[in-house]
Every structure is written in C-alpha cells, then in structure tokens.
Amino acid sequence: MPDETNPTHSSSEVSAGPPDPGHEKDDLPLELTSFVGREREIADVEKLLAEHRLLTLTGPGGSGKTRLALAVAPRVARDFEDGGWLVELASLSDPDLVSQAVASVLGVKESPGTKLADSLVQYLETRNLLLVPDNCEHLLGACASLADSLLRRCPNLRILATSREALGVVGEALFAVPPLSLPDPHHPAAAEGLPRYEASRLFVERARTVRPDFSLTEDNAMAIARICYRLDGIPLAIELAAARVRVLSVEQISERLENSFSVLAGGGRTAIPHHKTLRATMDWSYELLSEEERTLLRRLSVFAGGFTLEAAEAACAGEGIENEEVLDLLVSLVDKSLVLVEEHGKQARYRLLETVRQYGREKLDESGENLGAQRDHARYFLRLAEEAEPELRGGLQGRWLEYLLEHDNFRAALSWALEHGEAGLGLRLAGALGEFWYLSGNLGEGRRWLEAALAEGGGEPKAVRVKALT
C-alpha cells in the first residue's frame, strides 16, 4: 500500500441531517501497514502543533506527509475533547467543494440562506478539535481561505494540513518532511546493520508483505542500499520498488532503476490514483504548475548533482523564460517541493531529487528542448572552468572546493560534448580542468577525458589541442 494512501471519504456532498450528538469522537482511519521510523519527526510535529494553531507538513509527492500526519494525529487527538478529523481532498477538483468536504466529514448541515463556511464556524466555535485536511496543494486558495476564516473565529480549533506547498496563511508553521534515513551505497553497513536505516527497513518490511520468505542477507544488502539511495529515501518510491520482489530479484530491481518510472508501478486498488505509480505522482505535481514553471523544471533536469542560481539563469533562460524570471520561478518550484535548496558556505545551491530529475528529463526530451538546454549547460560550465583556471593556478586554491561541487556537472558537460559532435568544446573543457583534476586528486579521470576528447577532435584550434596534450 503506497505511503500516503488512505481509505477515501465521500466528500462531494453535505450531510443531510443535523449535527449528531452521538457522532463519533474522531474520524482518523486505521492504517493497514506498519509505520516505519520517523520517531524524531513525530516528536517535532507534536511540539510544533502544540505551539501553532496551523501546521502544514510539506514535501514532494510520496514523501510520507499523510502517513506522518496520521501517525501524529491519534497521539494528539486525545488532548482534544472533540477528537481528530481527517478531510481527504485529493479527489476534489472544484475549490468550492472544500467547505463541503469539511462539512461532510463533521456532519454539518448546509442551512438555507447561510453560507456553508459560516455554518462551519457556528459548529466549530464551541468545539475543541483537530482538523487534518490532506492533499491541499491543488486547492490552495480555497484551503487557505477556509483555514484562515475558521482559525480566526474558532479559538479551540487546530489544523494539521498536508500539502506540497504552504497554504500561505498568517501564523502558519511549516514542517518539511525529510527523506527516510539512508545507508551509504558506497560504504554500506553489513546486513545486520542495515535495519538501523529507515529506508532499508521500510524496503525489507514491504518486501515481506508480498513475499513472506524475503530476508535481508549479506548477498542482497548492497543492492538494497543502492535502491534506497537511488530513490532518495522517498517512502512511496521505496514501497513501489519493494513490491517488485514478487517477480524480480533485488539486484534486478537495482539495475532497472535507471528507468525508475517503468519499474515503480503498482499500488493497491484502493490507492489514491496519483499514488498508484511514481509517474502518476509526478504527473499530478507537473499538471499543477504554470507553463513557465514546467519549462524551468524540464530544463533544470540537465544539471547533475545540483546547481547555483547563476547556472540556472545561464542554462535555462530564453525561449519563454526571461533571465530575470528564473529566480522567482525557482523559488516557486522550491515552495512546491520540486526543487531542494541547501546552503554551501555563503551560497545557496539547488538540486532535484533523482526521481524528479528523471521525470523532468523525459519531459525535456518530449518538448524538443533537450539539445539546446544541454548545449547551454555545457557552455556555461566551460565558461566557469576557464574563469576558474587562472584562479586555481594563481594560488586561490581554496576555490577548488567550490568547483568540486560542480564535479558531476563537469562530467555531464564533457559526456554531452563528446557524444554530440562538440569535440572542440569538450577538448577546451577537459584542458581547462587540468588544475582542477590535480587539486581534487582525480588525475586518472582527467587523463581519460583528455584522451577521449583528443581522439574525437581534430578541427579545433592548434592552441586548444596543444594545451590538452600538455
């Protein structure tokens, strides 16, 4: 059962009867699969919810927002006289139905001549309860408006929402749901140590639900670590991968994750549609974006291992996106949990989760923008390398740490150049990175790139070739 899947309430109509005095104290579903790890996150969310009347759990699709909310809600609902109530919004497409969905769950009747939002206020202003609206991202305006109205007039109401981006209500607190803890695929623990990591523990537990004889062994431990790392610790992706042990070995699953979206299909028949496959989850997020946001997300997929704002502006602007628009669009994708941001020294760096990057690359190929975006990417990193070269040779060797962060992008640019008839660009880039290869201790790799570029080249200026030979 996918990570954020729950039984679906009928939320398209309002209960015909009056509020029932004998109505159940809460409406939180029982989970049918075990909840793995997240002890620290549960404690953090409980603390934040005690301090804030509106807390929104954010994160990309499949990151476990709903499961975390439903792990926390029963624990805190006992402190609310009128319990906790889950309102599922994924199936709704009309913003006007948000109030009806809440009213239906609470059993509030729509009265003639009274706005439904006002009826909800009248019902909730004397009650002490926790409301859990789930999957708010496609109905943000309506959810924000209703939450603001209810919280201003219902003093004993608290809201624990899940959404891929913030509701944007005054007083809202945010909790970004992190990936599950991961083993290092390059230096994994022995089989007995792997269960310490939430991601590998989840994989093994879900694999056993489809193949009871499945076990973690020294033979498959490395493959399990690689799967979890490749899937960025995203619970939904790990669950979908684990479901494949019914028909594939762990090693086969690991090998086939080069094309994640064909492997990660499945999910129970009762799963929310956009959680049945990883592709459907990404489609759901993609369709909620503006055309400019989609364009930027596609073009960002050319980066490997992260990028700076300057790099994004250089590689992604043009053909529908002005240079000065990139920052605002990038911020919007961060807000929507599709781009991650990290601080490295004094500079912000951005990256896509691997599953998001693969999806973006597919969309880039479909759009016909692939060649132009990759050429702009390669030209930017050639310019960066040529600008850095005299600094590194001139004694500013502390700067090499900054360029080391771009190692994967340099490799991607070199690969593209040599595979697409841009040998001159590749030869210039490989030559400009000479000091970088030396300072980073990658002389063997640098030599291989230079040899490949020299073999492919021939039409470049003699000075470029001489430099590479040197």
Number of structural domains (the chain) is 3
User: Do residue 72 and residue 172 come from a single domain?
Assistant: yes
Q: Which two tokens stand for residue 165?
A: 């981006």
Do 196 and 109 fall into the same domain? no
User: Are residues 234 and 138 part of one domain?
Assistant: no
Of the residues 124, 146, 176, which one is the last residue of a structural domain?
176
Res. 297: pLDDT tops 90: yes
pLDDT at 28: 76
Do 129 and 230 belong together in one domain?
no
Higher-pLDDT residue of 371, 20: 371
Q: What is the mean pLDDT of residues 330-357?
A: 86
Give the percent of the chain with pLDDT over 70: 85
Confidence of residue 273 (pLDDT cuts 50, 70, 90): low
Q: Per-residue pLDDT averaged across 193-198, rounded?
A: 87
Q: Do 170 and 262 reside in the same domain of the chain? A: no
Residue 94 lies in a domain: yes
User: Is residue 223 included in any domain, yes or no?
Assistant: yes
Spatial contact of 121 and 74, defined as CB atoms under 8 Å apart:
no
Least trusted range by pLDDT, from 5-14, 118-127, 291-300, 376-385 = 5-14
Helix (H) / strand (E) element for 322: namely: none
Chain-centroid distance, C-alpha 251: 25
d(C-alpha 356, C-alpha 257), whole Å: 13
Q: Of 176, 210, 237, which residue is a domain's last? A: 176
* 156 plus 83 within the same structural domain: yes
Helix (H) or strand (E) holding 3: none
Phi then psi for 160, rounded to 5 degrees? -115, 100
Residue 399 pLDDT class (50, 70, 90 cuts): low
In the chain, the amino acid numbered 352 is L
**Residue 253 covered by a domain:** yes
Greater confidence (34 vs 21) lies with: 34
In degrees, rounded to 5, the angle at the alpha carbon of residue 233 between the alpha carbons of residues 227 and 239 is 70
Do residues 246 and 146 share a domain?
no
- How long is the chain? 470
Give the tokens for residue 10.
Answer: 């009928």
Residue 307 gets which letter from DSSP? B
CATH number of the domain bearing residue 46: 3.40.50.300
Q: CA nearest 210: which of 256, 246, 170?
A: 246
| Domain end marker among 176, 201, 228 | 176
Higher pLDDT, 198 or 29: 198
Residue 183: inside a domain = no
Least confident interval from 68-77, 303-312, 342-351:
342-351
Cα–chain-centroid distance for residue 167? Answer: 18
Gap between the Cα atoms of 467 and 470, Å rounded = 5
Whose tokens are 């990139």? That residue is 326
Confidence of residue 259 (pLDDT cuts 50, 70, 90): low
pLDDT band at 355 (very low <50, low <70, confident <90, very high): confident
Give the residue-averaged pLDDT of 48-69. 92
Question: Can you state the angle between helices 370-393 and 407-419, rounded to 10 degrees?
Answer: 130
- Residue 170: how many other CB atoms lie within 10 Å: 9
Nearest to 56, CA basis, from 226, 173, 141, 134: 173
β-sheet with 157-163: strand ranges across: 84-88, 129-134, 157-163, 54-58, 173-176
Q: What pLDDT shows up at residue 29?
A: 67
Helix (H), strand (E) at residue 130: strand 129-134
pLDDT at 32 > cutoff 60: no
Crossing angle of the two packed helices 278-287 and 354-367, in degrees rounded to 10: 70
Q: Are residues 172 and 197 in the same domain?
A: no
Q: What is the pLDDT of residue 26?
A: 61
Whether 55 contacts 217, CB under 8 Å:
no
Burial of 439 (0-12, 13-18, 19+ CB in 10 A): middle
Asked whether residue 3 is domain-assigned, the answer is no
Over residues 21-27, mean pLDDT: 50
Task: Give me the pLDDT at residue 5, please.
Answer: 38
* 219 and 115 belong to one structural domain: no
Residue-number span of the structural domain to which 94 is assigned: 39-176
Report d(CA 358, CA 277) in Å as an integer: 14
pLDDT of 282: 83
Residues 149 and 205 in one domain: no
Residues 385 and 439 in one domain: yes
Question: Which pLDDT belongs to residue 435?
Answer: 82
Which range among 36-40, 260-264, 416-420 has the greatest average pLDDT? Answer: 416-420
Q: Tell me if 441 is assigned to some domain.
A: yes
Instruction: Determine contact, residues 363/286, Cβ cutoff 8 Å.
Output: yes
Average pLDDT, the chain: 84
Which structure tokens are listed for 290? 């503006």
pLDDT band at 203 (very low <50, low <70, confident <90, very high): very high
Which pLDDT value is given to residue 4?
Answer: 41
pLDDT tops 50 at residue 11: no
- Distance (Å, rounded) from C-alpha 187 to C-alpha 217? 16
What is each CA distance from 192 to 14, 196, 200, 201, 218, in whole angstroms?
53, 9, 11, 11, 8
Which of the four pLDDT bands, split at 50, 70 and 90, describes residue 257?
confident
- Report how far residue 7's alpha carbon sits from residue 336's, in angstroms, rounded to the nearest whole number: 25
Q: At residue 169, does pLDDT exceed 80?
A: yes
Would you state the pLDDT for residue 193? Answer: 81
> Average of pLDDT values for 279-284?
79
User: Is 382 part of any domain?
Assistant: yes
Phi, psi of 458 (to 5 degrees): 150, -30
Q: Structure tokens of 43?
A: 């404690």
Instruction: Count CB-CB contacts under 10 A for residue 464.
Output: 18
Maximum Cα–Cα distance across the chain: 88
CA distance 378 to 381: 5
Query: Is 170 in the same domain as 201?
Result: no
Mean pLDDT of 229-250: 87
This prediction's pTM: 0.74
Give the confidence band of 378 by pLDDT, cuts at 50, 70, 90. very high
Asked if 13 and 109 count as a contact pair (C-beta separation under 8 A), the reply is no
Asked whether the predicted pLDDT for residue 1 surpasses 60, the reply is no
Assess if residue 312 is contained within a domain.
Answer: no
